[in-house]
Amino acid sequence: MFFFIPYQKDAVMGEVLASNAKELSQQKWILIGHGDWESGIKTSNPLEPGVYMPLCQRDIDVFKPACVFLGHIHKPFDEGYLCYPGSPCGVDISETGKRRFLVFDTKTLRTEIHQVDTNVIYFVETISILPLVDEENYLRSRIKNIIQSWGITEIEKEKVRIRIKIRGYSSDIRQLKQIVQEEFKGFTYCDGEDVDLSDVFLSDNLDLEIIAREAANKIQEIWSSGVLSPTYDDILFHALKTIYGGK
């Protein structure tokens, strides 16, 4: 049985489910609703701030839907039997990546992911750099890996809209910009922007470069960046600030 819960202002899904608990308890059922999952409750949707008909783990535990499909959060999200298919087309640059729709098999209760052929595909990337002897190769390699992770085809390339920010320290900012432009050639910057190098600082001190490289290794050695902790790039950026001072 599919149980659809349309959005109701000032209501929570648990209430609606509770009102239909008896009926729901009698058969296997799939919930389709519009609202915030737990994580959505903690995290604001910049487009629609507020709390939208939330669903919590306890509701799942109590009413036991076989699968849950939710709307409202535009970012695709999958967590076991619960998923947000996400918006089929990115509304703005904040909705990055390829968009998708899901086909649900009512017999196997499995979903199949299908990509939506959208007009634009947004990507936002921030790359931290540090001055290396082979700074150029390092940067080119990182950019190639990033582009590869997007998983786009040549045909899709022209649909891509990018926002790129580089931060850190470079021995040659002009060359850095050139490398970035070369590697992202063929992609279109969002809203006519250019690569953001406002947080890139010149490093012409080999002593500091040596310490920076050691620090980069040390960070990897002593800190594992988890989902909630700062990223390696964030930590490295602060380490570089300490090494280079005041920038």
Partner 1 sequence: MPIFIDEINIKNIGPISEKFGGKLVKLNLFYGGNETGKTLLTEFIMCSLFKTRGLDIRPIVGSGKIIVAGLDKNPVSFSPSSSKKFEDYQLQNTVGITTHLPQLFIVKGAKVELGTDETDKIILQRYLSGKEILDIIENRVKQVNTREANIENNEIIGKNLGDIKTRNEKRTTLKTIDTLFTDINQQYLGGDRRILENQKIETEKQLMEMENAKRFYANTISKNIEQLENTRHEIEDDVLDEISKEINVHDTKEKDHGKKGEQYNKTSQNSKNYSWVKKAEEIYNGQLRKTSSISAKKFLLIPLIIIMILAGAFSFLNLFFGVIGCLAALIVFGWFYVKGYQELLQESGKNSEIERLKEGYQSRFGQPLTDLALLKIQVEQLQQEYSQSEVLNKQLSEEETQLRESEDQISLKMNNLFGKTIEKNAWNETIKQAKEKNKKLDKEIKEEQIKLSGLNVDETDYNTEPPSLEYDKKTYEKLQSNLTEINGEIQKIDTNLNGLKNGICSITGDDPNLNWETLIQHLKQKRKEIDEEYNELTAQLVGQISVIKVLRELRKVEDKKIQEALQSDLIKKPLYDVTKRYTDFRLEGDNLFVVDPYTEFPLNQLSTGAKDQVLLALRIGFCSKLFKQDSMFLIFDDAFQHSDYKRRPLLVEKTIELVKNGWQVIYLTMDDHLKALFDEKGKALGTDYKTFTLPSTQ
The footprint of partner 1 (CB under 8 A) covers 10, 12-19, 21, 38, 41-44, 49-51, 54-59, 62-63, 133, 171-172, 175, 204-208, 210-211, 214-215, 218-219, 222-224, 226, 228-231, 234-243, 245-246
Nearer to partner 1, 41 or 120 (CB): 41
Nearer to partner 1, 47 or 210 (CB): 210
- Residue 103 Cβ, how far from partner 1 at the closest point, in Å? 30
Q: What is the 3-state secondary structure (H, E, C) of 97-135?
A: CCCEEEEEECCCCEEEEEECCCCCEEEEEEEEECCCCCH
Both tokens assigned to 140: 């080119």
- Residue 155 Cβ, how far from partner 1 at the closest point, in Å? 37
Residue ranges of alpha helices (H) inside the chain are 13-19, 21-24, 38-42, 57-63, 135-150, 154-157, 173-183, 206-222, 232-244
CA distance 212 to 131: 8
Nearer to partner 1, 152 or 216 (CB): 216
Nearer to partner 1, 93 or 211 (CB): 211
- Residue 200 Cβ, how far from partner 1 at the closest point, in Å? 15
Q: Which of 123, 134, 237 is nearest to 184 (CA)?
A: 123
Q: Which of 93, 47, 87, 95 is nearest to 71 (CA)?
A: 87
With both helix axes pointing from N to C terminus, report the angle between 135-150 and 173-183 in degrees, rounded to the nearest 10.
30
- Residue 57 Cβ, how far from partner 1 at the closest point, in Å? 6
- Residue 80 Cβ, how far from partner 1 at the closest point, in Å? 17
Nearer to partner 1, 157 or 241 (CB): 241
The distance from CA 22 to its chain's CA centroid, rounded to whole angstroms, is: 39
